[in-house]
Chain A
């Protein structure tokens, strides 16, 4: 018997966790000597009340959607891919090569090309850990996190020694050609009379992320491959009984996961910086884990959680700008959200289940 209705599991549990995290964060803010109400208002104002604020929130959210989907897809095959960071970095290399070395006539084709490049590079970076896990039993958590470091070192080498334009002091590639410039929300939605999203980095990649959510949903719940991935994730002995090859399925799930993580770089590299810089990922790979946890590995949940984390990111920047609350506090708040939605899930869930049970019993 399911202990509580699906909506409570999907909405109520994360919501209560979130409120608990907010409450503890408020205590921390009081400890610093600021007013939590004012801080919250500032965050909302900065991130949600102006179109430019939304432009930042959605820009961050785009990153988190991709990395969150990456973690979610791997998780359905019971693989814990914490290498989103590295896969996104290498994905960025793919974007840079595609943008720099192929003369694109139009941004839309460039977007397709860089999306392919990013996902191929990201997938390739996930392939080795996937193969090692599937064939040799090397734990995916260990190998993917080590590959994050290797990716950082590799990117450093490539940027400094290979792709850096002659004479530049900065470990970064040259600026991408103008033809690859992706329309930002400002380009798309502003009119002369009504400027919108001014200066915000949100761009057309956001829609790519939304499409990715739909495609991942179709993949996981409507295709044969998704059926096999989930079956393997639930029970490997059952998968072997059914003739689903664990090796093949793990590798495919990880390739998709790595590809999704890589796609994130389209947003940061082609969409925002318009060149490949050393630290364009800024921990989004790790935030993806929290996003997937909170979103219960469902694309819709990932989408909503990504928006929430985008809000926290942008609101946190506003806090640092206008108050004595250090930017690190936002990390504390994020950590609390992760703690409550991920690690302490049962703390909220079990009392809730009990309430629902007693409610149901009284009814019957």
Chain B
């Protein structure tokens, strides 16, 4: 592989055998055809992106390659040799490494112990650990994969945990690396670091398959990209010869608006007023440190921030299922933050509707029928009762109306929630909440795990509610979503508000700094923005790149929390 260190681009290496070649892969789960006659060629030393909506069959394909599923038909060639992959052991010995979206690490083991787990050289650990330590050192130097080998996994940031996963694969001599939605859990800075690592790996001749639904990442790092739609490979193109709009069209099969069409907001009176809101979680960690926030009628306020910086707690307190201290008032009347009148029912009675961040855990009962879910939270409404019993007929009719209006597919109120795709599940939740005509709509991660077609629809519904003069508070970790949907943006970091201002003047770099708790020149350049004192304006060390400074700051925060956690 010496001669392909950097020359493995598909255009220059026609003579080399592809690192991975799949021919005619098909896989069905019952009546669902997850993969249909998939063919793909990935040349060594390249990064190949696989992009597609949720449920397009990306993960199934990679699971076949990693030996989790057996294909119904088709062949796999690794470096030109036909290879059977009946299980993950075979995949590993064929040189394939996989980094899952949800890491498979032992939380209370050290990095070293995790790396050798399952690849120990003998019954005694000491020699394996010593060997691994040496290898890790070498890998760290080669690829910027720095992790403290003795740190416990539970004390590491997600970005570092992901590096451990990559190290695990490399330690097992993988030269083909599959990453499944690797940036879903990362901060922008961590994602940039990951991409640098991937770039280094490519330079050393490793082959990388990147599964994602984020177009930007595909454009940024891949050499070639395959698009999947409904189990089929619709196209494979060179990244340099395509653009995001074309890819998006290939993904959904039609042109989509990546920007939300909306008119200028005309904010009215103040609907939600939050003053000095503080929240301590059940471990005693302070999650919100005095938050002040206003949301007016007829505007969408977007809360930007890396996940885990207090946004969830803010929604929970407003939604009535976490206790807090401070003052919150709705339409000028204050809300109870503890006690009997601080629950989801009383919040709904006051006109607060809530699309929760995690629809599968909170927003829906996955084993309930659509018609049961479409009343969930409002099930005590007299219109759903008849005497002592619930009025199932009314609930079903109500659901069928919502299904039609919100284009839920399949349009069947008698399916359980788990039988709908992510996007249609979310439509059920959004329909339920918006149809109550609330004064304030709380929306958490409205489009997480939702396909592009449904994203567009859900965004339109949220904007339509705003245009009716309702107040909307949006929390999302997708900066694109915040930027395109919000009228005003508030940035949170570590339980505090770092700054707020109009969405038109916000820019990605400035928001990125605020999301990491930094002030500085980039944030001051945003017109009309108020930067809070909490955003440390300390000039970034000129010897370090901005990304490293952000990284360090986040790391400090995590170390602080780890200490508090004991």
Contacts and interface: CB of A to CB of B under 8 A. Distances in A.
Interface of A: 1-3, 218, 222-224, 227-228, 230-231, 234-235, 237-238, 240-245, 357, 360-361, 364
Contacts of B356: 241
B213 interface: no
A237 B358 contact: yes
B423 interface: no
A361 B365 contact: no
B460 interface: no
A218 B386 CA distance: 13
A364 B380 CA distance: 43
B385 A224 contact: yes
A175 B372 CA distance: 51
Interface of B: 28-32, 319-321, 343-348, 354, 356, 358, 361-368, 372, 376-377, 379-380, 385, 388-390, 392, 416, 419
Given A2-B419, A231-B376, A234-B368, A241 B321 contact: yes
Contacts of B419: 1-2
A60 B564 CA distance: 57
A242 B390 contact: no
B368 A231 contact: yes
Q: Is the interface of B mostly helix, strand, loop or mixed?
A: mixed
Given A222-B390, A235-B362, 7 more contacts: A228-B379, A237-B358, A238-B363, A243-B321, A243-B344, A244-B345, A360-B31
B363 A241 contact: yes
B347 A3 contact: no
Given A227-B372, A227-B390, A243 B30 contact: no
A325 B30 CA distance: 47
A364 B31 contact: yes
Contacts of B392: 222
B482 to A, nearest CB: 23
Contact of A235 (B343, B348, B361, B380): B361
B28 A361 contact: yes
Given A1-B419, A224-B380, A238-B361, A245 B343 contact: yes
A241 B344 contact: yes
B102 to A, nearest CB: 18
A238 B358 CA distance: 9
Contact of A240 (B28, B344, B366, B388): B344
Contact of B377 (A223, A243, A364): A243
A361 B33 CA distance: 11
Contact of B390 (A3, A223, A238, A361): A223
B344 A231 contact: no
B32 A1 contact: yes
A360 B392 CA distance: 31
11 contacts: A218-B389, A222-B390, A223-B388, A223-B389, A223-B390, A224-B385, A227-B379, A238-B362, A238-B365, A243-B343, A243-B377
A170 B127 CA distance: 72
A90 to B, nearest CB: 28
B390 A243 contact: no
Given A242-B376, A243-B344, A243-B346, A222 B389 contact: yes
A237 B319 CA distance: 12
A222 B392 CA distance: 8
Contact of B30 (A222, A224, A242, A360): A360
Nearest to B342: A243
Contacts of A238: 361-365, 376
